[in-house]
A = this chain, B = another copy of it.
Amino acid sequence: MIGTPILPEIRELIEQRNFSALQRLFDDWLPVDLAELISDLPENEQAILFRLLTKEAATETFEYLDFDAQQNLLNALTQKDVTHILNSMSADDRTALLEELPGPVAQELIKLLSFKEFKIAKTLLAYAEDSVGRLMSPDFLSVKKDWEIGKVLEYIRTHGHESETLNVIYAVDDHGKLVGEMLARDLLLSPLDKKVEEIIDEDKLITLTATQDQKDALEAFKRYDRVALPVVDSNGYLIGVVTVDDMLDVAEEEETEDIQKFGGIEALDEPYIDVPLLQLVRNRAVWLVVLFLGEMLTASAMAYFEDELAKAIVLATFIPLIISSGGNSGSQAATLIIRSLALGEITVRDWWAVMKREILSGLMLGSLLGLIGVFRVVFWATLLGHYTVMWLLLGITVGLSLLGIVLWGTLAGSMLPLLLKRLGIDPATSSAPFVATLVDVTGIVIYFSFASLLLKGVLL
């Protein structure tokens, strides 16, 4: 078991320039751990350590390096080393690197590729970002469907070294069209004289297309529990393969996007700490301004009730408490419904079932906060020694407003994502701040309506 690299020991060996000891040590390390170590080193030491690796380990380690370290090494290594790495790294990782690099640099590097790899790189880069094409590897193994398993095994032994995965082998017909897949399991368990076509099941083949969204691929992997899925062109010819290890990364990216949206930010393309400051501010400003403009309505609503306010300043003191409770319960409801929609646990058609649940939840939560609210107002007044019927009525106003606002927040928070989904808009757009803003404005109206009703002639 390899743990996190122990830097002090490594540091010492580097200071001593004891490269043979380092080399021996690195022999037992996994590429991902080597990559983490090298990424953590100062730039001028990265190349020194990287050169200690064997050719094979170097390519694999390079694939795991973070982008900054990759860029640094591309500058620091000899053209010969760079050429070797670029030609031997897997096509999908190379695509990811080339798309990150500035255009001219990428163009220079592509020139170092062999004719075969050059064609592959150009093809993959032509697919849209976030499309399946950017994840796929053209290094797969396909066999004819009339071969016997024995022949397939022999073929793999001689031609399989380049293949991205050997967990799945693809079967094609005489025209090269994909007709089925065999798992390593099938190959290892079948008698040697069985034919490929006896093993594959053409009807049960699941395929992707290169232009599909990576999200779709993730769904397919989740649904069908595969370790690899084939990518076909519009004529059904096999053009690449996507492996499940890339899917955990896609899942992570999707999650980040969802979470950022829900926090009320335009999703960032890069890690938080790497995004240029101005872009970071821009991605936040969009929603912040929209919400601010929406929230301006609270000022208008309050201006409308200025007379009531003037008569009873004490009313104003409870406004933040009341409207924030609506916002909080609305955020909760929106969170639950957005996530439930995303997981397919509910659909828009379930709106009535959801509404019933949320009305009941809202009533219970609202009553709870309402009671605490009444208690707060009455207890406070009693404590300060100026308890009167007016305070009781104020307490009831606050309590009923809380009930109404929490109920309304819960309903708005739960129905808004369903409505957005129905209109074809991403339900995650109804972020916590968005729902809170919506509920704030109506909350003020609800509060002052109860106040007018209950406190007329007493306070107002």
Contacts and interface: CB of A to CB of B under 8 A. Distances in A.
A198 interface: no
B324 A298 contact: yes
Contact of A298 (B281, B321, B364): B321
A224 to B, nearest CB: 6
A288 interface: yes
Given A272-B345, A321-B295, A321-B296, A365 B288 contact: yes
Contacts of A225: 32, 245
A263 B331 contact: yes
Given A331-B432, A357-B280, A271 B320 contact: no
A337 to B, nearest CB: 7
Copies in the complex: 2
B271 A295 contact: no
Interface string A337-357: 111100101100010011001
A249 interface: yes
Which of A160, A259, A340, A436 has the most chain B CB within a 10 Å cutoff?
Answer: A259
Contacts of A221: 248
Contacts of A354: 273
A316 B319 contact: yes
Given A263-B335, A436-B324, A317 B302 contact: yes
A142 B172 CA distance: 33
A6 interface: no
Which of A187, A262, A332, A433 has the most chain B CB within a 10 Å cutoff?
Answer: A332
B280 A157 contact: no
A369 B288 contact: yes
A13 interface: no
Contact of A160 (B188, B306, B373, B444): B188
A185 B166 contact: yes
A-B pairs, 4 with minimum CB distance: A263-B335, A184-B184, A28-B203, A298-B320
23 contacts: A29-B204, A30-B206, A32-B223, A161-B189, A166-B188, A184-B188, A225-B245, A227-B227, A244-B245, A263-B335, A273-B340, A281-B365, A287-B328, A289-B372, A292-B328, A293-B372, A295-B320, A295-B321, A298-B324, A309-B316, A313-B316, A328-B436, A331-B433
Interface of A: 1-2, 28-30, 32, 153, 156-157, 160-161, 165-167, 183-185, 187-189, 191, 203-207, 218, 221-227, 244-245, 247-249, 251-252, 255-256, 258-260, 262-265, 268, 271-274, 277, 280-281, 284-285, 287-289, 291-293, 295-296, 298-299, 302-303, 306, 309-310, 313-314, 316-321, 323-325, 327-329, 331-332, 334-340, 343, 345-346, 350, 353-354, 357, 360-361, 364-365, 368-369, 372-373, 376, 406, 432-433, 436-437, 440, 444
